[in-house]
Amino acid sequence: MDIFVALLFILTVLTVRFLSKWYKIFLIGLKIPGPLVLPMLGNVQMVSKLKPENLLLSLRNFREIYDQTYRLWLGPELWVFLHTPQETRDVLNNKNLSRPQAFQYLNALIGNGLLISEGNHWAMHRRILEPASNELLFQRMTNPLLFPDIIYRLTPMYSELKESLKIIHKLMSDIVQERQNYLATKEQTTAGKIGKTFLDTLLTPTNTGKIFSFQDIRDEVNTFVLAGVDTTTSAMCYVLYALAKYPQEQQKLSEEIQHIQQGCKLSPNVDFNELQKYKYLDLFMKECLRFYTVVPLTGRQTTNSTRIGGRVYPAGVTVWINLYGLAHDPDLFEDPDQFRPLRFAEEKSLIAFSYLPFSGGPHICIGRKYALMIMKIMTIKILEQFQLVLVDPLDDLILMAEMVLKSKNGINLIFQEREKFSIIN
């Protein structure tokens, strides 16, 4: 009997704490405009509008209806969408906010890597999923009916995801094991010299003797390979598309390249400083990253009472920053739906935290300079040999907001050489 009473007391305390926390969230939710809420279900009727192919348009429509800040209830979870530079600054500069609960579903793919871990382990936020896994996980993140593990594990999506992750994890484990074997057998004559890779650093004991576990190393390889590579390649696809979509811009870049290189090809030893000569290329890249915001959304979750903009949010509220929406806001960019690289000729006129292709604040992408350098080099090398043309000039992209921006109908280009051409789909 005493045990029963004790258990009942503990259950009562936990229930009261939960209801007290949720009640605070409920009260702030009442003060924020948003769609009609269904009892117990929240805005479950809006799930179809959160699908990747509908999300960008839905968020734009919500902003027009409910102003710059609005909310959605996904079951008992309150999601608040932010659209102002001030709110964005408050969120990205706050080191005490955690990653959204929805991001924890990504643990299945990358474990506790730099991308989603807390405290001193944060770093770049970017797309981290192979396409099949990305779509499956994104569906779960935006559907409250799939939040409980006990329900999700009964769906066909879980079986499909499990099979995809099995392949990905084996590939990453093989990469780590192969490098580990190489380091164990090679001569140690190069120890301490320049040329050590990121993976070598993880596999080498630190000055304090600490050694990362195999699981830790695999998690970080998952993050850097599937995240860094995929965001850069996705951004590069949109750069190539913009070159073909706007031939006048392609012509300006070709003329700049010819003027700087005087008929010579780009040196294989080109460095970051040399790339600074390509002024118009820099403007073009910035406009591409604005127009096609590769990471369209990023989010945080409050862990205690937090002031964001003019509101104080209690712990447990998920806030989403619409990076794509900021980049296409007519209040922040003149004619935002027009592709105009020269808008960046006067960067001092940009409003702080309105242009965030690599996020901002303490979590800003640590690989941003390297990514830009790679993209600029690739663009120069391609324009040295090819002219880019759209397969169908009237075929506009159907953009989807997943972990990264994707085109539902693909990106179909023609690479025309000086003497011959080939079609690349």
Q: Which residues are annotated as a binding site for heme?
A: 365
Q: Is the Cα dihedral 161, 163, 164, 167 positive or negative?
A: positive
| Binding site members | 365
- Answer for the pair 375, 232: CB distance below 8 angstroms, yes or no: yes
**Contact yes or no for 318/80 (Cβ under 8 A):** yes
* C-alpha distances in Å from residue 169, one per residue of 110, 126, 351: 9, 19, 42
Q: What are the tokens at 252?
A: 């300006």
CB neighbours (10 Å) of residue 59? 22
Q: Which residues of 403-417 are buried (b: 16+ CB within 10 A; e: fewer)?
A: bbbbbeeebbbbbbe
Question: If 0-12 CB within 10 Å is exposed, 13-18 middle and 19+ buried, where does residue 209 land?
Answer: exposed
Task: Report the relative pairing of strands 386-390 and 70-74 from DSSP bridges.
Answer: unpaired
> What's the one-letter identity of residue 382?
I
CB-based burial, 31-43: b 16+ in 10 Å, e otherwise: ebebbebeeeebb
C-alpha–C-alpha distance, residues 78 and 92, integer Å = 19
Decide if 368 contacts 374 (C-beta within 8 A). no
Q: Are 363 and 374 in contact (CB under 8 A)?
A: no
**Taking the mean position of all CA atoms in its chain, how far away is CA 246?**
26
* CA pair distance 227, 127, nearest whole angstrom: 5
- Categorise residue 193: left if φ over 0, alpha if ψ from -120 to 50, beta otherwise: beta
Phi, psi of 410 (to 5 degrees): 75, 180
Give yes or no for a contact between 198 and 367, defined as CB atoms under 8 angstroms apart. Answer: no
Residues near 413 by Cβ (< 8 Å), separated by ≥ 6?
240, 241, 244, 388, 389, 390, 391, 424
